[in-house]
Amino acid sequence: NKLRDLPLTLESDYISREQFHLSICNQLKHINQSSGHIVVFGMAGSGKTIAVCQSVRHVVINENCFTPHGCYWIKIGNITNQQLLAILRSLATKLGIINTELIQSLVEINAKIKQFLTGNRNLSNVLFVFDDLWSEEHYNYLTFANKSITTSRFNHARIKNTHICIPAMEELTEDEAIEIFDKRRDHDNHYQLTNNKFVRDVIHSCRGLPLAISIIAGLNLRHDEDWQDVTKIVTKSNLPIELHDYDFNLFSTFKLSVDQLDEHSRQLFRLLGVFKPVQIPLQSIISLWNTEKMMVIALLKKMHRRSLLKLVDGDRPYCILHDLIIDYLHQPVDPQQSLQQYSIILSAKLVDGYAIRCGRKWSTHPHDAYYYRYVLNHAIQADNSAIVQQILNDFKWMRDKFQLDKTICNLCLDISDCIIYLKKMEITSWQQYQQLLELLQRHEFWFQTENIDLLQVLLTLDYKIDWIRQRALELAQENEQHYWKIVRLVHYHKADAVIKPSKCKAIGNSSWIVEAKVAFSNPCYENLRIIGSENTYEENSQIVIMDYKTSEIVNQIPVPYSNTEIVNVKISADGHIVAAEYHYGQWEVYLADNSKILNFMEDDQKLQQPRFTTLEFCPITHNNCNYMLTLCKERKQVKVWRIDRNQICDVNKQFSIKYDVISVEWASNGRQIALWYRNDTSGQHNRSKYADDDSQLNEWQIKVGHEINIEWYTTFIKIDFYIQIWNLQPWQCLKSLQVPSLITKCTHQRGYRSTKDDKDGFYLNRIYYSNNNFECLILMYEKFTGLLLIENSDLEVINYSDNFNTVFHPFVKRCDHVVISDNQQWIAIITRNLYYLLKVINGRIQSYATISCPSKWMTSIYIHDNRYFIYDCGTNLINEYDIQDEQLQWKILDKNGMVNVADSDEEIKDLERFKSTTTSDKIDENEIETIDRSFGYINKIPVQVDLIQIDDICKLEVYNCNKEIGAKESDIVLKQRYSQCFIVEDLQSVIAVGNYHPEQYHPGRYRYGMIIQDTAATRKSNRSFRYFPGRDAYSELVLSVIYRNVDNTLIIIMQE
């Protein structure tokens, strides 16, 4: 079949317009020889689609053009970008492209199809026919086609240089019109058509428009008076409805034909206006009309003869309504009704018809594509929230829809529309459907196989969402098909949808040495400015200040010292003052626009070479002045400075404490200062990071250069941390807080408590303070990072150590860095080179999303409003992300309120502790993290495999799903960490896949380690091997693993 989906144009129904037909055929033959694109444009109803279909059919069948694959016909219409994406995904599937569910944008799908066609020479000569293209923007996403012909109502200016433009012959000649009249009239109608003034008047009155001529031909006029009446009606000047491009009464032409139907047929025909401008299956019309099949077919044939619709017979009959006739049918019969009211009535009639026919058991309705594609849309238009929820609760209906569509994308779009509708109606059930949508979107890539059962997937991928699990179990028990049992829950994060950068901009010229950090001004004042560095350690090293909006370099400040590292850079809120730290805490402060150095003034005296451990600009200005704070080199004095004109002035806002300050920073609102310290006076802890085992302790001794007192160290790490909050105006200490330096898990309840036992405790590494909309601490412990909301209290010191398990709410494991937005709506975290964005509402983390980063050398993060910036020091690029991007998929926290973070791929060395544990029952359930899950048949037995991690140990658990719940067949400890697992049915084995880094690590070269386990036995065929795909073939995501028995080959399919 070379004419894929090309509409039929039977000679009994249509004429061939020779000149128009020849013009299109000649251009088609021309692009067949080379390549090119054709656009046939003209007003609606001018016969563009018919002429193109006739011409394509002729050159493909009779001229043997576009061999060997012929053409693909694609109906576009007046659609959104999201709808076009669904259409192109469907086309990609027809072409043979797999994993289209992973594609989330039009740019990607266009590139994917183009790449596929380029790599398949047999398809390079295929012709794509795009029918009724409205949006000029959509041409950008159809460039994959090497050869194409498009029909459009519009002659867009931008395509004139890239397309061969053929104007439609909008007016039929008298001979062509008479030929159509002759085709449609009854055999007993011998009215003289040629050389007839009245016939000629009718043709001229409707401007020879093919659609109007066809409708009039269906009237079967027999007398002069009949033709004269038609002319009067068509030429009426008082048009009830204004139609663009038509200066005659086209809708009255339609009305003439409709009025000739009997009253009952007329009412039924008007109901057809409910349908979209697509193929309408016979089954949907039967449901709408609530009429017997034979009667429906007879009525449709009558309407076909009148050219009111086109009926296509066959195994699955369907009809097509012209867009203009659908527009006519949208007009209310009652002039008192609005278009919206009439649309609701029509949709309600169709939905009620569907409900009556299937008895509200939605999966039992006779299968037709229109029903499954649009029933939810019509239920929303009918404002029938009850039916919307009934269908969304019918997983069998969803299963059948998926099997009919052969993609999960359309179902996800429908559920998304329903969620928007239910939220608008303030129906709370939208939240549970949001859970279902997130579940399906997270596992879109699983729905690649046509015969996969959606109900089975919902049973297997249960996320402890009660209503989904319960409904799936009920339907599974009703169904005669055998379903596997649920063995255990899975926290699955493979192929998370991620947002990609919307902009990338370079900061200066990067040398081979990785550059220092960057800093951002506050965009609330002027254009966003960014400060960075380039050529560190070289003679021409300098500070670079860039205007982010224009990408222009504002200034380049040479480093005053040769061969000096630029350790850190800072920029003021308004972007006019910058600071750079050189060796040994030496800071220089400059005017950003002219490089002038600003001096620190104290008691009207210039400070000579002041050194600070910390220098921070205030995130806002006060009375148009910039402020900054410093922490002295000895860590015991904090001071606030005002930048006044061309100098830095002491404002007598300072304090000193006898303890070493670990860190000091501005609060997010710019009106308070937060510092934290331990009340220890030994002064030794500022020399190095805190050690947590003997090996690190020995390393610390070497770095410090002398031995430390072990007794002091053991005591020191148990001392609690104190946080002081100081107010800028008036200058005073607002509150003091106490938090534990060591925490451990609670024994008999969830949460963590303070402890003094350093063997099992987790150390506090970092504290973040924020106080814009609510006041909170983010505490970064050794293995957990959590949120602590600060309460109002009159106590001199608010001690959280005693009730820590009730106030500390961990939200992520093993966090490396945290950034809180100024408005406290977002928290960004980095963990194991993975980036997550957390949404915060009323002081509670509600959901999170994954951010895609081009490399693993990210050093700086900044969030302002809905813009999220990450600096990649490896490429010297600023990557900007739009937090409101519709592609960003928000996921709910797990049952413990945690972000489900993927594990890194470092090699595991400690196996003994795990091997000593014989059953997973001895391990706390919270310590078990399911990384991946796979299911399949081995020797016709349904098998489920869980790839799990307990602390730092990775293993495979294999279950026989025919046996009782929890029947474990084997338990395999893996010698390295893996990220995915697959059941390969033909090989009857389990494949675990993960990244492997050799001992001599070379950047850019990655290796895959795999272990194969025969699931039918226990462990006797356990073997492992390593695969080296090379740098170009590297991918962190394996889509599937296939075994080819013919040559004993294991095929690994990876995402590009």
CB 632, CB 678: distance < 8 Å:
no
To the question of pTM greater than 0.75 for the whole model, the response is no
The answer, yes or no, to whether residue 690 has pLDDT greater than 70, is: no
Q: What is the DSSP string of 117-140?
A: HHH-GGGTT-EEEEEEE--GGGGG
Question: Across the strands, what pairs with 149?
Answer: 38, 129
**Residue 387: per-residue pLDDT:** 95
Q: What is the DSSP string of 631-657?
A: EETTS-EEEEEEEETTEEEEEEEEEE-
How does DSSP classify residue 8? P
How many CA atoms lie within 13 Å of 879's alpha carbon, on the beta-carbon side? 22
**Residue 250: per-residue pLDDT:** 79
User: Cα separation of 855 and 833, whole Å?
Assistant: 9
CB 997, CB 833: distance < 8 Å:
no
Q: What is the 3-state secondary structure (H, E, C) of 692-712?
A: CCHHHHHHHHHHHCCCCCHHH
Radius of gyration of the chain (CA): 36
Q: Which residue has the higher pLDDT, 293 or 443?
A: 293
Chain-centre distance for alpha carbon 493? 14
Number of H helices, E strands in the chain: 25, 53
Q: Which residue has the higher pLDDT, 356 or 1012?
A: 356
Q: What is the pLDDT of residues 277-295, one digit of tens each?
A: 889 999 999 999 999 999 9
225 vs 69, 199, 232, CA distance in Å? 53, 11, 11
User: Cα separation of 349 and 514, whole Å?
Assistant: 67
575 vs 534, 617, 627, 1003, CA distance in Å? 19, 10, 13, 36
Compute the average pLDDT of residues 628-637: 91
Compute the average pLDDT of residues 827-846: 82
User: Cα separation of 303 and 326, whole Å?
Assistant: 14
The answer, yes or no, to whether residue 964 has pLDDT greater than 90, is: no
The answer, yes or no, to whether residue 310 has pLDDT greater than 60, is: yes
Task: Tell me whether strands 784-789 and 776-781 are parallel, antiparallel or unpaired.
Answer: antiparallel
Nearest Cα residue to 715 out of 741, 676, 746: 741
- The tokens for 844 are 């509670």
Q: What is the pLDDT of residues 736-784, one digit of tens each?
A: 999 998 898 887 777 888 988 766 778 888 899 988 888 899 999 888 8
Cβ atoms < 10 Å from Cβ of 231:
17
- Average pLDDT of every residue of the chain: 78
E strand or H helix at 841, and its extent? strand 834-841
- The tokens for 1050 are 């294991």
Compute the average pLDDT of residues 533-556: 82
User: Cα separation of 861 and 875, whole Å?
Assistant: 15
- The tokens for 719 are 């001392």
Lowest mean pLDDT across 81-85, 739-743, 877-881 = 877-881
Q: What is the pLDDT of residues 86-107, one digit of tens each?
A: 899 889 888 888 666 667 789 9
**Residue 1032: per-residue pLDDT:** 45
Nearest Cα residue to 869 out of 507, 442, 494: 507
CB 906, CB 977: distance < 8 Å:
yes
The answer, yes or no, to whether residue 216 has pLDDT greater than 80, is: yes
User: Cα separation of 930 and 924, whole Å?
Assistant: 14
User: Cα separation of 984 and 990, whole Å?
Assistant: 6
Nearest Cα residue to 92 out of 114, 69, 77, 70: 114
The answer, yes or no, to whether residue 448 has pLDDT greater than 60, is: no
Nearest Cα residue to 169 out of 109, 210, 214, 230: 210
Q: Which residue has the tokens 């429908």?
A: 414
User: Cα separation of 902 and 494, whole Å?
Assistant: 8
Of the pLDDT bands very low, low, confident and very high (cuts 50, 70, 90), residue 68 is confident
- The tokens for 1001 are 């690590």
Compute the average pLDDT of residues 669-680: 86
Give the three-class secondary structure for 357. helix
Task: Tell me whether strands 834-841 and 968-973 are parallel, antiparallel or unpaired.
Answer: unpaired
- The tokens for 111 are 């590139």
Lowest mean pLDDT across 688-697, 731-740, 757-766, 868-877 = 688-697
User: Cα separation of 35 and 146, whole Å?
Assistant: 6
Greatest mean pLDDT among 411-420, 541-550, 813-822, 908-917: 411-420
Compute the average pLDDT of residues 550-571: 84
Cβ atoms < 10 Å from Cβ of 136:
13
User: Cα separation of 1003 and 186, whole Å?
Assistant: 80
Lowest mean pLDDT across 223-227, 254-258, 682-686 = 682-686
Amino acid at 817: H
| Helices 263-271/293-305 angle, 10° precision | 90
**Residue 621: per-residue pLDDT:** 92
- pLDDT cut 70: percent of the chain above it: 77
Of the pLDDT bands very low, low, confident and very high (cuts 50, 70, 90), residue 439 is confident
- pLDDT cut 90: percent of the chain above it: 26
Lowest mean pLDDT across 589-593, 606-610, 737-741 = 606-610
Compute the average pLDDT of residues 522-526: 84
Of the pLDDT bands very low, low, confident and very high (cuts 50, 70, 90), residue 251 is confident
The answer, yes or no, to whether residue 1025 has pLDDT greater than 80, is: no
CB 859, CB 843: distance < 8 Å:
no
Compute the average pLDDT of residues 320-329: 90
**Residue 570: per-residue pLDDT:** 93
Lowest mean pLDDT across 581-595, 760-774, 867-881 = 867-881
**Residue 817: per-residue pLDDT:** 83
Of the pLDDT bands very low, low, confident and very high (cuts 50, 70, 90), residue 958 is confident
User: Cα separation of 261 and 211, whole Å?
Assistant: 19
Q: What is the pLDDT of residues 355-389, one digit of tens each?
A: 999 999 998 999 888 999 999 999 999 999 999 99
The answer, yes or no, to whether residue 325 has pLDDT greater than 50, is: yes
Cβ atoms < 10 Å from Cβ of 1053:
13
CB 838, CB 851: distance < 8 Å:
no
E strand or H helix at 31, and its extent? helix 18-33
Give the three-class secondary structure for 739. strand
Lowest mean pLDDT across 223-232, 467-476, 833-842 = 467-476
Phi, psi of 29 (to 5 degrees): -65, -30
CB 529, CB 581: distance < 8 Å:
no
Of the pLDDT bands very low, low, confident and very high (cuts 50, 70, 90), residue 500 is low
The answer, yes or no, to whether residue 858 has pLDDT greater than 70, is: no
Q: What share of the chain is helix, strand, coil (3-state, %, to 5)?
A: 30, 30, 40
Amino acid at 925: E
Question: Across the strands, what pairs with 676?
Answer: 663, 723
Strands (E), 295-415: 310-312, 318-320
CB 1035, CB 1006: distance < 8 Å:
no
**Residue 269: per-residue pLDDT:** 94
Sequence-distant contacts of 199-203: CB under 8 A, at least 24 apart? 199/227, 200/174, 201/227, 201/228, 201/231, 202/227, 202/230, 202/231, 202/234, 203/172, 203/174, 203/177, 203/178
Of the pLDDT bands very low, low, confident and very high (cuts 50, 70, 90), residue 627 is very high
Of the pLDDT bands very low, low, confident and very high (cuts 50, 70, 90), residue 563 is low
Cβ atoms < 10 Å from Cβ of 1055:
12
Of the pLDDT bands very low, low, confident and very high (cuts 50, 70, 90), residue 1055 is low
- The tokens for 304 are 């076909």
How many CA atoms lie within 13 Å of 722's alpha carbon, on the beta-carbon side? 14
- The tokens for 146 are 């090497």
- The tokens for 929 are 């993290």
E strand or H helix at 831, and its extent? strand 826-831
Compute the average pLDDT of residues 24-44: 92
Give the three-class secondary structure for 205. helix
Of the pLDDT bands very low, low, confident and very high (cuts 50, 70, 90), residue 1053 is confident
Give the three-class secondary structure for 959. strand
CB 216, CB 242: distance < 8 Å:
no
Lowest mean pLDDT across 655-659, 695-699, 892-896, 935-939 = 695-699
Give the three-class secondary structure for 373. helix
Give the three-class secondary structure for 462. coil
Task: Tell me whether strands 732-739 and 1007-1014 are parallel, antiparallel or unpaired.
Answer: unpaired
**Residue 202: per-residue pLDDT:** 87
